[in-house]
Structure 1
Amino acid sequence: MPNSSSSLSSAKPFFAHPFDDDKLKEECGVFGVTGVTDAANFVALGLHALQHRGQEAGGIVSYHPDHDFNSVRRFGYVRDNFTKQSLMETLPGSLSIGHVRYSTAGSKAAAIRDVQPFFGEFSMGGAAIAHNGNITNADALRRELIERGSIFQSSSDSECIIHLMARSLQRNIPERMEDALRRVEGAFSIVAMTRTKLIGVRDPLGVRPLVLGQIGEGWVLSSETCALDIIGATYVREIEPGEMVVITGEKVESSFPFRRQKPRFCIFEHVYFSRPDSIIGGRSVYETRRQIGVELAREAPVEADLVCPVPDSGTPAAIGFSQESGIPYAMGIIRNQYMGRTFIEPTESIRNMGVRLKLNVNRALIQGKRVILVDDSVVRGTTSRKIKEMILDAGAAEVHFRIASPPTAWPCFYGVDTPQREKLLAATMSEEEMREHLAVDSLKFISLDGLYRAVGEAEGRNKSCPQYCDACFSGEYPVVPADMVSKGFEMKAAE
């Protein structure tokens, strides 16, 4: 085992944000770097840039020939933990990986043992692994491994990979990882390390992102390009679906160990998860979201006086809607930028204030106006109702919602924390029923074809062979969620 430093915060952590519980929760972020002095410091900066992908906890593992593997795992934000010099000095070496987490599988309880990266000691040396995604056959794999004598240390699906690697008969760690991942179903973008190698791999469908960068003579692997920018690294390319790269010194070796399949990248990365300053598939995420607003204005026009984003995720789409419709754009809702997860331990009376602690209406702007509110999604609808009430309380004449994604009617099983299907508003209501439930003057979602056009598919969605994973909208899962089906989840009936 590496030398490890783990800590529970003295304040009781609460991971379901009490004032923002109506959004799909980000998955995880992974980052690794080799060939630089004090690599862990670069990893900390990269994880800071990826904080939007996981705000529950983070961990870093490093390797130095004189100090072996070392790891630190903490609850909370990167800025609150991995900026302390005394702590970072415990992570020496030129090779390091890290992970930020929002739990999607396993226990929701505050367990430091679930915080990645995970570490395993094999006959040929140690290896650490950080995983973004979700293994859809993890329950079956775990049962099999436990029956064969494996002892699990966490509730995370990702730990299955370490145990599968331990049971592999392959001769080195990269080959053992290939062997293990052939047993895995679902989504995985992985950054791993040995004493001498930095390894990156994506599942054959490429559901989650992973990119390669270069910094000086060193190399970087990251969930998103925005994390390359913060350390001054140069973007090289995306790791392709089904590709494994093994970086040793200045040498990058690429292979495709899995059966080739048509990629199905998560389309919701374009809508919400990725940072707007990242590049996905050669496209600016910001520009894609602006184009979503353009498509939305074409599909669902309405007479109004102002277009206002629900900050911050609705902002680019609101700008596009305004530009296409000719209706003025305005910051009708102001976000309190200092509303953090550790603000207070919320009492019931504080909880009842809801989004007012995070968002405030610009009354002078809103009063007497017909307002179009642009948001990225509607999940349970609770936050949308509260925002609508705030707008009306400020004196708005009309409230119209325009949503920059199709109705979210199905849960995600590939690395996103989604409510059970019956708790998704769109799973139980039609669009008109949702409008009545939210009590707004109009409610329109972008169509699935419109979303595809916005991400660059001019002909829209290929219904016989979709270009993206859009299961949360369509109910068409590219990989059968075997564990959930065994628990009674009913797949969409074939049309």
Structure 2
Amino acid sequence: MLYERELNEECGVFGIWGHEHAAQLTYYGLHSMQHRGQEGAGIATTDQENVHFHKGLGLVNDVFDEQTFDQLPGRSAIGHVRYATYGENNYANVQPLVFRSQTDTLSLAHNGNLVNAHALRHQLEAQGSIFQTTSDTEVIAHLIKRGGSLQFKEKVKHALSMLKGAYAFVMLTEDQLLVAQDPHGIRPLSIGRLGDAYVVASETCAFDLIGATYERSVEPGEMLVIDDDGISSEKVSSAGERAMCSMEYIYFSRPDSNIEDINVHSARKRLGKQLAGEAPIEADVVTGVPDSSISAAIGYAESSGIPYELGLIKNRYVGRTFIQPSQELREQGVRMKLAPVHGIVKDKRVVMVDDSIVRGTTSRRIVNMLREAGAKEVHVRISSPPIKHPCFYGIDTSSESELIASELSVDEICETIGADSLEFLSVNGMTDAVGRDSSQSQCGQCLACFTGKYPTEIYPGTKLPHEKELVSSGGVL
């Protein structure tokens, strides 16, 4: 049984209305969210008469250069960084997607996954629609265009009302920026101000980079319309129970971002402290797996009294590691990205804190590296519950048969990864530590990958990542 892949990042969206350097600020905003997607990037702008765009495969720095911005005039823009999987990373699927008609132009970017996209696409094709991409994002453009003689805002509201699943949309026309959040608020989306300009982003770290001030999160089921007259808010649908993705706090978001007024670094430290209380162990040093687990490791060390040490170093200059033809070379690929600090772990009982175990391969390789560096014992502590169920909302987790915690017990996983002991954080401990609204039955978080209880209906035909029929903006549908 092989568990080759670990979690892959979400996508990130950015939008700005009313700034003379819209394209450049969008570039910086996307750069700050590069961790959410490294496969492609794009920017679309409007000069009030035309929509211009540029996109490409690769990192933000690879896609844009100084000359690019001469092709992106205007005071308003949207942008996107994208993660994709399994050979579906092609130019056509890179966002923002741009659709031109005889009357207007629409550009849109999306973070999330539509669980009814398969059914909607089938229906639209039966009615004559021809799709140009394999992205579920394109579905909404067809739904909007079928709104007939309605005003554009009403067309968008009607189209959004037909979507099920997770979505955070930014949409740009010649004279408007529209922002929309799904009824459960599964994906993060915030709005801020930069002087007289309005800014929207998946993460607040983008605001910090460009000097914008955070105002609030976009509410579940809310649509914002921003133009030269200002900003207006409308409810597209009744808000369901809040279900922010738990992995945003645990893994995806940057530590300096805030999600609905909860700082990610602080939340991760609390996760580590809770973990220390639930799963204590006698040891000499605590270390975290860079980068997302460092905060939890610090929290574990503070609560347990065991010193925190930098026992693992991440090489920040490694690009993508291609699949190698032998097990030996695959092991070498991990060593290119992570290296143990021999002087810290040699002859020590090490607590290795990580944020999750998805398929187990990476954990096993890191445990082996620590042992080869001289660690006497390696005790693995995970700052999330076991991931037992696939995600349908944009995260690249596959079928239950490929999630190690759905196949094996904790003791069996411990043996598989070669650790001396292994403990996961409890579900209640996780939600308490994050600190969201405890008045809601799920504390305002989506727990589906841990509990199998999904906040939305999962429609027939919804595809998992490995099934490859449709590509989501944040994974494969």
User: Could you say which TM-score interval applies, normalised by the shorter chain?
Assistant: over 0.9
Residues 354, 386 of structure 1: 8 Å contact kept: no
CA shift, 1:467, in A, is 2.8
Contact preservation (8 Å) 1:122, 1:166: no
Q: Which moved further from structure 2: 281-290 or 95-104?
A: 95-104
Q: How many angstroms does 1:472 deviate by?
A: 0.6
Residue 470 (structure 2) aligns with = none
User: Is residue 138–residue 483 contact of structure 1 (8 Å, CA) maintained in 2?
Assistant: no
CA distance 1:255–1:124, shift in 2 (3 Å):
farther
Partner residue in 2 for 1:287: 266
Give 1:257's aligned amino acid: V
RMSD between aligned residues: 2.0
Distance in structure 2 (CA, Å) of the matches to 1:295 and 1:437: 25
C-alpha deviation, 1:410, in angstroms: 0.6
- Structure 1 distance, partners of 2:425, 2:277, is 10
2:73 pairs with 1:73? no
Of the three residues 333, 339, 343, the one matched with 2:318 is 339
Question: Which of the residues 251, 254, 258 maps onto 2:230?
Answer: 251
Q: Does 1:174 align with 2:153?
A: yes
Instruction: Determine the C-alpha separation between the residues in 2 that align with 1:190 and 1:352.
Output: 39
Counterpart residue number, 1:102? 83
Distance 1:218 1:375, change over 3 A: same
Gaps of 5+ in 1: 1-19, 490-495
Match of 1:24 in 2: 7
Does structure 1 residue 313 correspond to structure 2 residue 296?
A: no
Higher relative contact order (CA closer than 8 Å, sequence separation 6+): 2
Provide the residue aligned with 1:416 in structure 2. Answer: 395
Could you tell me how far 1:345 is from its partner in structure 2? 8.6
Q: What is the SS of the residue equivalent to 1:440?
A: coil
User: 1:32-431, aligned counterparts within 5 Å?
Assistant: 32-65=15-48, 68-82=50-64, 84-103=65-84, 108-122=87-101, 124-169=103-148, 171-249=150-228, 251-341=230-320, 348=326, 350-431=329-410
Aligned residues: 462
User: For residue 400 of structure 1, what is the amino acid of its counterpart?
Assistant: H
Structure 2 unaligned spans of 5+? 467-477
The C-alpha deviation readout for 1:291-338, integer Å capped at 9, x for no partner, is 000000000000000001111111000000000000000001111111
Change in Cα spacing, 1:333 to 1:299, as seen in structure 2 (3 Å) is same
Tell me the SS of whatever aligns to 1:61.
strand
Going from structure 1 to structure 2, the CA distance change for 1:170 and 1:281 (only over 3 Å counts) comes to: farther
Change in CA separation of 1:345 and 1:266 when aligned onto 2, cut-off 3 Å: closer
Q: 1:122-167, CA deviations, whole angstroms, 9 ceiling, x for partnerless residues?
A: 5652111111000001111111101100010000111000000011
CA–CA distance in 2 between the matches of 1:184 and 1:170? 21
> For the residues of structure 2 that align with 1:55 and 1:142, how far apart are their CA atoms?
27
* Contact 2:115–2:462 (8 Å) recurs in 1: no
Matched residue, 1:475: 452
**1:87 maps to amino acid:** T
Equivalent pair of 2:436/2:443 in contact (CA under 8 Å): no
Q: What TM-score does the superposition give when structure 2 sets the normalisation length?
A: 0.93
Please give the alpha-carbon distance, in whole angstroms, between the structure 2 residues aligned to 1:230 and 1:485.
37
The answer to whether the 8 A contact 2:116-2:462 is kept is: no
- Cα shift at 1:352: 3.7
Cα distance in 2 between the residues matched to 1:467 and 1:285: 15
Partner of 1:434 in structure 2? 413
Does the CA-based 8 Å contact 1:187-1:203 persist in structure 2?
A: yes
Q: Match for residue 9 of structure 1?
A: none
User: 1:4 matched to which residue of 2?
Assistant: none
Inter-CA distance 453–73: structure 2 relative to 1 (3 Å threshold): same
Could you tell me how far apart the structure 2 residues matched to 1:319 and 1:49 are? Answer: 24
Give the fraction of aligned pairs with identical amino acids, expressed as a percent. 44
Distance 2:437 2:82 in 1: 35
Contact 2:39 2:89 in 1 (8 A): no
Q: Is the 8 A contact 1:33 1:221 kept in 2?
A: yes
CA distance in 2, matches of 1:289, 1:247: 34
Distance 1:213 1:49, change over 3 A: same
- Cα shift at 1:385: 0.5
* C-alpha distance in 2 between matches for 1:305 and 1:24: 29
1:119 is displaced (CA, Å) by: 1.8
| 298 and 465 in structure 1: CA distance in 2 versus 1, 3 angstrom threshold | closer
> Structure 1 pair 486/399, CA: closer, same or farther in 2 (3 Å)?
closer
Matching residue's letter, 1:70: H
Q: Which segment is superposed worse, 294-303 or 330-339?
A: 330-339
Task: Tell me, yes or no, if the aligned pair for 2:431 and 2:443 is still in contact at 8 Å.
Answer: no
- Is the contact made by 1:46 and 1:230 (CA closer than 8 Å) also made in structure 2? yes
Partner of 1:13: none
TM-score, length of structure 1 as denominator length? 0.89
CA deviation after TM superposition for structure 1 residue 65, in Å: 4.0
Instruction: Give me the whole-angstrom Cα distance separating, in 2, the residues matched to 1:249 and 1:467.
Output: 34
Deviation at 1:210, TM superposition (A): 0.7
Q: How many Å apart are 1:216 and its aligned residue? A: 1.3
Partner of 1:3: none
Contact in 1 for aligned 2:273/2:296 (Cα 8 Å): yes
